[in-house]
Structure 1
Amino acid sequence: MAKRSHIAVISIPAFSHQASIVEFCKRLVEHHDHLHVTCIFPTIDAPLPATLTLLQSLPPNIHCTFLPPISKQDLPQHAPSPVQIQLAVSQSMPSLRHALSSLLSTTSLDALISDPFANESLEVAKVFNLLSYIYFPTSSMTLSLFLHLPTLHQQVPCAYRDHKEAIQLPGCVPIQGRDLPEHFHNRSSLAYDLLLRRCERLSLAQGFLVNSFSELEQGSERALQEYTNRVYLVGPVIQTGSSSDPKESECVRWLEKQRPNSVLYLSFGSGGTLSQQQLSELAFGLELSGHNFLWVLRVPNDTPDAAYVVGSNDDPLRFLPDGFLERTQARGLVVTSWAPQAQILGHASTGGFLTHCGWNSALESIVFGVPMVTWPLFAEQRLNAVLLTEGVRVGLRPKFNENGLAEREDIAQVVQDVMVGEEGNEIRSRIEKLKVAAADALKEDGSSTRALYQFGTQMANFLGQP
């Protein structure tokens, strides 16, 4: 594609999605230097501070713009955060139309790449005769689920969690209904209706760019290519840059004093929260395990994704069991709200990762070769946990009782199994191979780099460029 092309990209007001699509755009222009990208972000109240920080180091051929904010007061106050986010995106569509019209008045615009949860924009792209693609920040297994949901909706007559047979997506490990995203569990809910409509709209896209790589999801990639030959696995797309936050040096200094592979890192992502009871059980489980740990602690909340929409000024440390910090000070470090995850996972002292199974975190763990304790909370995280524990088998899942609580003894046992057990050693061997495969996929002749070039070629063909 000799001609200079301009692509608009739209995400959703969630940092994990925005971070992933920005990193993808950086990789895209690195390999297609004729491309210019404009990233467009809907907002709720105001741009996310973490996103503003992320955008400070963009190359000159990527520009960003924020759509006029949607007031949180105008969204259903008791709706789950994914519903609020999707409704805010829907309300932002007139602003997107205006932004695209303004771009077209000053420059040529060839294509729009959309987050799957902003795919009303595919209809806007059609109005402006733009090519349209979906950037999927999650696994190809999740893409397969979304593409097949309209069919599943007809085939499964009951609530998915009550469906007795495993759900078999082409090329994927079988999934129990209870491990589908929580939006699936109430088929009469607004959350499910919004998701179903978005899945039905995917057929408008000319192709799908997926944040995964062939060696990780060979089966689902093959099945997707049979379903549509316009699927490109272009990952792993992760954040690896350092930060100037003082917590970075604090964490690294502490890790430097620990033995190789001796530390369990615990983080529930940028918005995950545990209940007070579960937080206490986790603390006691860590204490029982006897292992070193670095824990990113957040104020507890009974809503597992509460930190995405409601901040807290409380000190998270005061919610720990009495005496916990004193009893574990020789082998544990607790930091509040945020830690430099890439630096921690890449450190030689880190030997395990207790993760909420957000796809960004899962990929980072694979890239750095760190075995996982999989602790999914919401969204597609249970689906990711199935892939990680039963598909590629690079993690173990704790036991949860009938009330959905992981108890301290079971937590201590799964930590032991991953950190020093025979099963943990086998996991370490498997994830080390995936680590090498992930690095190979990003090389100049790697599968993901080839897919990125194939995407560029296909777009050029659609545009009629030589």
Structure 2
Amino acid sequence: MSNSITCMEKKTCIAMVPSPGLSHLIPLVEFAKLLLQNHNEYHITFLIPTLGPLTPSMQSILNTLPPNMNFIVLPQVNIEDLPHNLDPATQMKLIVKHSIPFLYEEVKSLLSKTRLVALVFSMFSTDAHDVAKHFNLLSYLFFSSGAVLFSLFLTIPNLDEAASTQFLGSSYETVNIPGFSIPLHIKELPDPFICERSSDAYKSILDVCQKLSLFDGVIMNTFTDLEPEVIRVLQDREKPSVYPVGPMIRNESNNEANMSMCLRWLENQQPSSVLFVSFGSGGTLSQDQLNELAFGLELSGHKFLWVVRAPSKNSSSAYFSGQNNDPLEYLPNGFLERTKENGLVVASWAPQVEILGHGSIGGFLSHCGWSSTLESVVNGVPLIAWPLFAEQRMNAKLLTDVLKVAVRPKVDDETGIIKQEEVAKAIKRIMKGDESFEIRKKIKELSVGAATVLSEHGSSRKALSSLALKWQQYTC
């Protein structure tokens, strides 16, 4: 299935292969828009691997692509061909792997009609790298996270080779990431690296890491002011070439649910007085942690706007399954009544882009996903770091210990929960006082830097132009 637009003969064509799922499609579309905004001599075609019909959200994004973009949905992979009970990363990799014959045919077709010069892959589409090489096309990885994580990915194969036990954590207590000034404890690494080395999750991510040096370049959603030393180290390497072209953030939210209610409420608040509390598009807390967070918000006495999701023992549960229960039913008895003068609580979703850009927001209690991190930095909003899974612990370390634009509440050693007193203390640190002033000053400087790198002579604009020129000059 495809839309009707075809690549135009005169334009250089770039094909992009997202990993399955909305969260991998959106960053690639945002990058494609940025590219065309500055270099409209290109045409972009998305080649989309899938296990089933597109979700309404994906369909909506694809159906509203600008004129210089089109999409082709590859034939569905047969679910019977995939092992059962796979972790999400392994499943995504296998869907792409089983889609390679379809991808091969579509690339062959594009080459017969267009001047196709490069394939751009998402992280879990790396198995399709050979398609680019078969047709003598340039191959690029689009890395939607930060440079620190990419530097770790380049480091992991060496650690794995030297490890003597079935767990990396048994061989190493800390890991030094080139360009990152602070050693990371093994428990701060993304979850798959903490798994047994024989697990599917570990083997999948290790395979991704081992393929990185095969690419002609890596396009990163980061910028020099945010991760200067790591980017410098990466750019000193011979291969792959690194192009930090960020920060790329959405200009508007994809969903308007609760939009008018949130913005109307914020209009009635004082400048920089409100703490926004959200754990991204799918992060969840346990019932005990939900209670402590609620009591901590109440105890702090500060204004807050909280996006509440139904509790779960799995901190990423809402990413992979929708939630039908009313989240507000899980709040402590009387909480909504007691805090109605200070807080606004909304169920499941809020327009984060618009909220973080509002003048009433003075702080952001966040899970530290990379998109949320960039949105906070661009808008100059200080953070309370509350990582849940994936690379969020690394992002939290960058924000608190290196950039010093966030505070992090302490986890209780016995229960593994952040108690209400710690929550209230973190809120007070970020919202008022000398420490708050220093943090606010630092993140405002980063915000200015984020705008500068995207300006006409900024480093991210130059990186994008360098990449565009390479594509334009390439002859297959």
TM bucket (normalised to shorter chain) is over 0.9
Instruction: Report if the CA contact (8 A) 2:89-2:124 is conserved.
Output: no
Alpha-carbon deviation of 1:165?
A: 4.6
Report SS of the residue matched to 1:129: coil
Instruction: Report if the CA contact (8 A) 2:47-2:74 is conserved.
Output: yes
Match for 2:262 among 240, 251, 260?
251
With over 3 angstroms needed to count, the CA separation of the structure-2 counterparts of 1:188 and 1:103, relative to structure 1, is same
**2:256 alignment partner AA:** D
Q: Which residue of 1 aligns with 2:439?
A: 427
With over 3 angstroms needed to count, the CA separation of the structure-2 counterparts of 1:276 and 1:95, relative to structure 1, is farther
Q: Which residue of 2 aligns with 1:201?
A: 211
Instruction: Report if the CA contact (8 A) 1:15-1:270 is conserved.
Output: no
Report SS of the residue matched to 2:116: coil
Alpha-carbon deviation of 1:124?
A: 1.7
Instruction: Report if the CA contact (8 A) 2:96-2:125 is conserved.
Output: yes
Report SS of the residue matched to 1:208: strand
Q: Which residue of 2 aligns with 1:171?
A: 179
Q: Which residue of 2 aligns with 1:364?
A: 375
Are 2:144 and 1:137 equivalent residues in the alignment?
yes
Question: Alpha-carbon deviations, 1:55-102, whole Å to 9, x = none?
Answer: 344221011233334466765554333333333333333332233233
Match for 1:344 among 346, 355, 358?
355
Question: Alpha-carbon deviations, 1:151-197, whole Å to 9, x = none?
Answer: 12123445344556532111113211111001011222110101111
Instruction: Report if the CA contact (8 A) 1:147-1:202 is conserved.
Output: yes
Q: Which residue of 2 aligns with 1:4?
A: 11
- Shifted more, 383-392 versus 101-110: the winner is 101-110
Q: Which residue of 1 aligns with 2:161?
A: 154
Instruction: Report if the CA contact (8 A) 1:225-1:231 is conserved.
Output: yes
Mapped partners of 1:56, 1:461: distance in 2: 31
Off by >6 Å, runs of 4+ in structure 1? 71-74
Length, aligned pairs only:
463
Report SS of the residue matched to 1:418: helix
Instruction: Report if the CA contact (8 A) 1:304-1:378 is conserved.
Output: yes
Mapped partners of 1:224, 1:460: distance in 2: 24
With over 3 angstroms needed to count, the CA separation of the structure-2 counterparts of 1:162 and 1:244, relative to structure 1, is closer
**1:349 alignment partner AA:** S
Instruction: Report if the CA contact (8 A) 2:12-2:114 is conserved.
Output: no
Counterparts of 1:8-407 in structure 2, within 5 Å, are 8-70=15-77, 78-158=85-165, 159-162=167-170, 165-173=173-181, 174-186=183-195, 187-228=197-238, 230-241=241-252, 245-402=256-413, 403-407=415-419
Instruction: Name the TM-score, length of structure 1 as normaliser.
Output: 0.94
Instruction: Report if the CA contact (8 A) 2:12-2:472 is conserved.
Output: no
Question: Alpha-carbon deviations, 1:15-74, whole Å to 9, x = none?
Answer: 332211110000011111111001223234332333333334422101123333446676
Mapped partners of 1:66, 1:436: distance in 2: 39
Mapped partners of 2:284, 2:83: distance in 1: 21
Question: Alpha-carbon deviations, 1:394-447, whole Å to 9, x = none?
Answer: 111121123432111111111111111422221111000000000001111111
* Structure 2 gap ranges (5+): 1-8
Q: Which residue of 2 aligns with 1:411?
A: 423
Instruction: Report if the CA contact (8 A) 1:181-1:381 is conserved.
Output: yes
Instruction: Report if the CA contact (8 A) 1:162-1:178 is conserved.
Output: no
With over 3 angstroms needed to count, the CA separation of the structure-2 counterparts of 1:386 and 1:155, relative to structure 1, is farther
**1:440 alignment partner AA:** T
With over 3 angstroms needed to count, the CA separation of the structure-2 counterparts of 1:344 and 1:197, relative to structure 1, is same
With over 3 angstroms needed to count, the CA separation of the structure-2 counterparts of 1:74 and 1:417, relative to structure 1, is farther
Identity percentage of aligned residues:
46
Mapped partners of 2:82, 2:347: distance in 1: 29
Mapped partners of 2:280, 2:77: distance in 1: 24
Mapped partners of 2:379, 2:79: distance in 1: 38
**2:324 alignment partner AA:** N
Report SS of the residue matched to 1:432: helix
